[in-house]
Structure 1
Amino acid sequence: MTSAQHDSGDGPMRLGAHIGQQNMTAVQMRDLWKRLDAGGADWISIWDHLYEAPRLGGVLPHFEALSTLGSLVADTRNARIGCLVFYIGYRNAGLLAKAATTLDHFSGGRFTLGLGSGWHETEAAAFGYDFPSLGERFDMLEESFELIRSLLTQERTTYDGRWVRAHDASCLPAPIQERLPIWLGGIGERRTIPMAARLADGALVGTPEMAVERILEYRAAGAQGLNVALRAPIRDDALDAYLEEVIPTVQRETA
């Protein structure tokens, strides 16, 4: 599984990794993202689930996203950090804004916030969260985006929506980044707010040479960045090939 970011920028293609924080220990996960960061990955992200994905009913070890990000930003120095994506039904929107600016400071301005409408109804029910209809979740996403963007950019925010609210709220310190990026995820573009980064899914399999060929196809189609999804158990030889062969070759070919 890959995620591709499309824009009109020039320069080498950005390559990263999207990690599902499941089926491995905390030590294994920290070793993985340290290796990715040192090996030249431009991006490292996790997801926001309480159970494993795909849905198995909560049978695999799985770590919570926001607390995991605290370790991720502390353990890395180079790669941009993000979550693809936070389900807006699990946390207050104001809390997510505060978390985003906190993570931006502790990462030295490397954090990207991802927001989504959610899909994992099984885990929501297991942990006692309401899971409204898809249309209502899109409404929640839109309101949450508007409130969070205001909190991250304005001195004071008052917002009175159906799903989220704030009264004369400040969010200090402001993010290090002048405009902290927000990525949006949802089913169907008609209801999503125009995305800060547009993502496309695909498969990346085979030899390093095949991987390079597939990534360059994404670039030719307009992708400026691409993240490869990693799921435990992870083969060391495959990770070595990605870091030592695929990334340098693609960066050289797209420079």
Structure 2
Amino acid sequence: MNFGLHIGQQNISMEELRRLWRWADTAGFDWVDFWDHFYEAPPVDGNGSCFEATTCMAAMACETSNVRVGVLVLGMGYRHPAVLANALCTIDHLSGGRLEIGLGAGWHEPEYRAYGIPFPPIKERLDMLEEGIQVVRLLTTRDRSDFAGRYYRLENSACNPKPIQPRPRIWVGGNGEKRTLRIAARHADGWNTPYTSPEEFARLSSVLDRWCETEGRDPGSIERTVNLSFHMAADAASLPRAEEQFRATWGPAADAMRSRGVVTGLPRQAVDLVGRYRDAGAARVNIAIRPPVDWDALHAWANEVIPAFAR
């Protein structure tokens, strides 16, 4: 199976960010992506620093050679999808054809409210997501496009140059069983779920299978991946520090998160956990990191966990 690095680019220097993606490019990962936030997540008070996602993608595209370049996931309400499509095509050229397009409905209401971006009810956000996916697909694959939706319109529109890839993959992120997974079955090349247990991953994947059957889609044509919050310790002496970082990250939600998609303990325990996701059908496990970066733990993951599955 494959491995990715999901970076929460908050409260971190650009120097450290660049060190992360340069390291991952040759450390056994095939994928590096960012999140799409303007404020810290989980929400605190909006005073933390957070670098913008598409700009980070462009920078990483220029400084890596191997990993796929993405975001899990771009909130549809933050940018008009036609404008976003132009940015994504540029990033694909900067990366030499390594772009991955992740799209979602958005959830971090404090960001919307603070910036005056409309935050409609979830049904409308999902409607916007489904329309926006179609707009991005049209503009990245067709010479000219027309689209008449409730939220977005295209009139003989062009987006040039086209990506290097003939059809960049689109990922839908989220766990909503009634709409999100059906949207994935209709439009996506990949589905990503954040912080779910192996059992829940398998259950949601089966829901996606059923939606694929409803939509006349081959379930095997949609790749499935999971993000795991990363709090592994490199060795026994580092366990207290890793536990402290886990609790600082998740605060009051830490105890509930422990039964979900979280990597804790030592590398041998991480190998067992990743094996459970593999058996549940995950094609890739992305470890999600928030600063401060535990470089000893990252090296242990690259040296002890990833090779266990390469064999």
TM-score (norm: length of structure 1): 0.91
Which amino acid in 2 is paired with 1:25?
S
Q: How many residues align?
A: 240
1:29 to 12, 17, 32: 17
In the alignment, structure 2 segments of 5+ residues that lack a partner are 197-260
Q: Is the 8 A contact 1:57 1:123 kept in 2?
A: no
CA distance in 1, matches of 2:40, 2:88: 24
Deviation at 1:187, TM superposition (A): 4.6
CA distance in 1: counterparts of 2:21 and 2:139, whole angstroms = 30
Letter in 2 for 1:114: G
Q: Tell me, what secondary structure is at the counterpart of 1:158?
A: strand
For the 8 Å contact 1:52–1:60, the answer to whether it is kept is yes
Give the structure 2 partner of residue 153 of structure 1.
Answer: 141
Structure 1: gaps (5+ residues): 1-12
Where does residue 247 of structure 1 map in the other structure? 306
1:45 maps to: 33
Contact residue 109 and residue 175 of structure 1 kept, 8 A: yes
Give CA-to-partner distance per residue, 1:175-203, whole Å, 9 cap, x none. Answer: 11121001112451321212422224322
Whole-Å Cα distance in 1 between the matches of residues 140 and 11 of structure 2? 34
- Listed one character per residue, the Cα deviations across residues 183-227 of structure 1 (whole Å, up to 9, x for unaligned) are 112451321212422224322221111111111111111111111
TM-score, normalised with respect to structure 2:
0.75
Letter in 2 for 1:204: V
Could you report, residue by residue, the CA deviation over 1:49-88 in whole angstroms, capped at 9, with x for unpaired residues?
1101001121211111111111111111111110001111
Shift of 1:245: 1.5
2: distance between equivalents of 1:164 and 1:220?
40
Q: Which amino acid aligns with 1:96?
A: L
- Structure 2 match to 1:229: 288
**How far is the alpha carbon of 1:41 from its aligned partner?**
1.0
User: Do 1:118 and 1:186's aligned partners in 2 also have CA atoms closer than 8 Å?
Assistant: no
**Match in the other structure for 1:120:** 108
**Which structure has greater helix proportion?**
2
What's the counterpart of residue 277 of structure 2?
Answer: 218
Partner of 1:132: 120
Indicate yes or no: 2:174 matched with 1:182: no
Q: Which residue of 1 aligns with 2:192?
A: 199
Greater relative contact order (Cα < 8 A, sep 6+):
1
RMSD across aligned positions (CA): 1.2
Distance of 1:250 and 1:39 partners within structure 2: 14
Paired residue secondary structure (1:242): helix
Contact preservation (8 Å) 1:24, 1:232: yes
Report sequence identity in percent.
Answer: 45
Which position in structure 1 is the counterpart of 2:268? 209
Given that residues 57 and 122 in structure 1 are in contact (C-alpha distance below 8 angstroms), is that contact kept between their aligned partners in structure 2?
no
Match of 1:105 in 2: 93
Contact 2:143–2:158 (CA<8 Å) still a contact in 1? Answer: yes
- Match of residue 60, structure 1, among 48, 56, 76: 48
Separation of aligned partners in 2, 1:187 and 1:128: 26
Asked whether the equivalents of residues 47 and 86 of structure 1 are also in contact (C-alpha less than 8 Å), the reply is yes
SS of corresponding position for 2:303: helix
Instruction: Select the residue among 77, 100, 103 that pairs with 1:89.
Output: 77
